[in-house]
Amino acid sequence: MTADEQPQMTGDRFPPGRETRHREAHSTTPKDPLRAQQDELTAVHDVATRLRSAYPSVDPAAVDALVKTAYEQLHQARIRTYIPILVERRARNMLNASSRDSAP
C-alpha cells in the first residue's frame, strides 16, 4: 500500500466516518438500556453457574445467595460495564472466606 492509498486520518486516529462509529461502539451509555440490563443479568447468571461449578461442596442455593448479595451491593454503580466481574470477585471472596472459616 502506497502513501496515496492509505486512508486519510481525521484528528489523529481515525479515517473519515470511522471516528463516529468507534465512539458509538465504545460508549459507556448503551443505545438500548433494556438490552444492556438483560445482558448484565445474563452475565451475572453465568457468574453463578461458574461459581457453582468451582465450589461443588457449597450448597448451590448458598452460592446463588452470595451472587445475589454481591450484585445488590453494586446496584447503584453508574458505570455498569464491569458489574459481572466485580460480582464474581466479591462472591468468590465471600466463598473463600467462608471456606477458610469452616476449615478445621
DSSP-based three-state secondary structure for 8: coil
Q: How far is CA 87 from CA 10, 50, 53, in A?
A: 39, 12, 16
> Domain 31-102, CATH 1.10.8 — does that match?
yes
Give 10-residue mean pLDDT values along the chain (104 residues).
53 53 53 90 97 96 97 93 97 91 67
**Amino acid letter, 43:** A
**Domain ranges for the chain:** 31-102
Total number of residues shown for the chain: 104
pTM flag (> 0.85)? no
Q: Which residues pair with 14 in a beta bridge?
A: 10
Phi and psi for 10 in degrees, rounded to 5?
Answer: -100, 145
